Structure formats: C-alpha cells, structure tokens
Amino acid sequence: MRPVGPLRDLVVIGASAGGVEALRTLVSALPGDLAAAVLIVLHLRAGSTSALASILDAVSPLPVHPAEDGTPIQHGHLYVATPDHHLLVSADHLVLSEAPAQNGHRPSIDALFRSAAADRGPSVVGVVLSGVLDDGTAGLVAIKSRGGLAIVQDPEDAAYRGMPDNALANVDIDHQLSAAAIGTQLGHILGVAADLSCPDCGGALSMLIPDQNGFRCQLGHAWSPDALLDTTDQQLQAALWTALRTLDEKTSLAERMAATARERGNTSQAERYSGSMEETKAAARLLRGRLTAGESENLRDGGVGQ
C-alpha cells in the first residue's frame, strides 16, 4: 500500500505564566496508550530548580522524565525541559543546548518548536498554552510550514492569554481548545498503540481514533481494518505453507538419517531419528489438511487458493 502521509507522533508543548496548571490539566487528559512522545518547555528562571516533571508525573497516565541529553525519543513518554538549557530534537533524540536565550528565555519554546519542525516535519503537533508575550508563535509558524499541526489554548481558558492571543493572531491554527480538551484532542489526532505490525514495513501500527477507522505506521502506510485483515491473512497463509515445506524437509532428513543409522548398526540412534520423523510427519499431515481444506473453501467462495 502506498504511503498516504506521516503519522503524527511528536507533540511539543510550550507554556509560561499560568502554565503549570494548564499542563497538569492537559497531561491528565491524555490516553495511557498514546502512540506519540510529548516534549514540554515551561519558561524557567536561570539558576532555578524545577519540580515540573514530578508535578506532571503525579497526574499523568504516561511516565514523565526530566530531559537528558542524547535520550532516544520514545512513544508513550513525556520529556520536560530543564533549567538553563534549550530542549531540542535531532535525529529522534533529545538535545540539551546552552545556546543563547531566545525571547529572553532558556529553555525557549520557539527553539524547541523550530528544531522539532526541522527534524520531524509533518509528524509534529505544536501546542501553545498560557503565558505572556509571544514565545511559541514563530515556532508554530515553522511547524505549520513543514506540514505539522498547531493547537492553541483558548485564551478564555488560559490564566495568561498573551501567548495564545499572539499565536491566534499570527498562525493558521488547527484547533483552539481548553487545556482539558487539548489532551483529549491529542488522543484523537495521534491515535493509540495497536500492538500490531505494518505488513509493508514491519513497523508498529497505531490505531486512529475515534472517527478515522483504520491504522497507520510511522512511515505513513495506512490500512483500513478490512485491508489489514486480508493482508494479514495472506501473510499467515504464506507463512503456513513455508512451515509445511520446512516440516516436509525435516521429515525427509530424519528418514534419511534413520536409514543411515540402521546401516551402521546403531539401533538406538535409528529409533530416535525414526521417532522424530513420525512426529514431524504427523504435524505436517495435520497442517496440510488444514491448508488444503482452506483452499477448497476459498475456491467455493470464488477466491484464489495458494
């Protein structure tokens, strides 16, 4: 199946004044099997300490970690920026940078958003929450320019509406929602892990919910339930025929080795090989019966057998 577009699986969130409560509300509304990673920047004073990871971990259905340089980005995890370091994305890993402050802040929301857009393009969903001034607006523009989505907290729901107002005035926003509704909406946009593999590439599939009836992998291969079931059935049939061929070959080998052992007068070894041959032959007989019965049913239904 031809890829139809990327799976959105990286969420970047920026907040400032009033952002802790907005983040708590948003994070607590995320689904526990979210098929995406979430990176969070909250403006912090230089030289300060941050308990944000612990605060969010107490309400999050997903594990929350203080960001560490070089960490591989994993689905189902939240990563929180630490004081005095920009949180960036490079080659699906976290990068902590001591580059100069942006918009007077380090960590900077724009710095995270721009790096995520450059690294992951349309896979990114950017979220701006409560705060003053305009950090995050330029970053959302970068995300949108690369095909990503932009979500902004409704200014009426924000403790400080400066950042949401600036984003709404300057960016083509996809969703304007309360903090709680953003958490729920992210579940709809991103889907949940399906514990299934993509037939095309072997990558993990995510289930699109609730109104998108299907599955998609990180490379963008998309499947309707019926198409996925049919392709999986074809792969299963091919695997079973391969298993049958392997059983037949093992039977032939065991029979040959049993004959050789008898010629050499090694009765016990010949009996062992004969026993293995009979077990394998019985398994092959059972599998062949099921496969040929399936072929007959397929032909009756107008399908094409193996």
CA distance 85 to 71: 15
Q: What is the pLDDT of residues 131-174, one digit of tens each?
A: 999 999 999 999 999 999 999 999 999 999 999 999 999 999 99
Percent of the chain's residues with pLDDT above 90: 68
> Pairing mode, if any, of strands 124-128 and 93-97?
unpaired
Q: Which helix (H) or strand (E) segment is 95 a member of?
A: strand 93-97
CA distance 132 to 158: 10
Measured at the alpha carbon of residue 53, what is the angle toward residues 49 and 56, in degrees to the nearest 5?
130
The amino acid occupying position 12 is: V
Per-residue pLDDT averaged across 186-210, rounded? 74
Omega within 30 of 0 (cis) for the link into 31: no
CA distance 227 to 176: 34
Which active-site residues does the annotation give? Answer: 16, 43, 135
**pLDDT of res. 203:** 74
**pLDDT of res. 144:** 97
299 pLDDT above the threshold of 60: no
Q: Which CATH superfamily is domain 10-195 in?
A: Methylesterase CheB, C-terminal domain (3.40.50.180)
**pLDDT of res. 3:** 39
Please give the distance of CA 35 from its chain centroid, rounded to a whole number.
Answer: 4
Q: Tokens 């709404």 — which residue?
A: 168
**Who wins on pLDDT, 229 or 217?**
229
Task: List phi, psi (to 5°) of 188.
Answer: -70, -40
CA distance 248 to 258: 15
Supply the DSSP string of 245-278, one letter for each residue. Answer: HHHHHHHHHHHHHHHHHHHTT-HHHHHHHHHHHH
**pLDDT of res. 231:** 86
Supply the DSSP string of 33-94, one letter for each residue. Answer: TBSSEEEEEE---TT----HHHHHHTT-SS-EEE--TTPBP-TT-EEE--TTSEEEEETTEE
Q: What is the pLDDT of residues 19-73, one digit of tens each?
A: 999 999 999 999 998 889 999 999 988 778 899 999 999 999 999 999 999 999 9
Structure tokens at 267: 């009765």
Give me the residues paired with residue 96 across strands: 87
**pLDDT of res. 262:** 92
What is the pLDDT of the chain when averaged over all its residues?
Answer: 89
Query: Which of 257, 260, 237 has its CA nearest to residue 249?
Result: 257
Q: What is the pLDDT of residues 89-127, one digit of tens each?
A: 999 999 999 999 999 999 999 999 999 999 999 999 999
CA distance 298 to 291: 10
300 pLDDT above the threshold of 60: no
**pLDDT of res. 1:** 38
Confidence of residue 296 (pLDDT cuts 50, 70, 90): low
Percent of the chain's residues with pLDDT above 70: 88
Task: List phi, psi (to 5°) of 167.
Answer: -65, -45
Query: Which of 26, 94, 92 has its CA nearest to residue 61?
Result: 26
Per-residue pLDDT averaged across 206-220, rounded? 65
Per-residue pLDDT averaged across 207-222, rounded? 66
Confidence of residue 305 (pLDDT cuts 50, 70, 90): very low
Per-residue pLDDT averaged across 236-248, rounded? 90
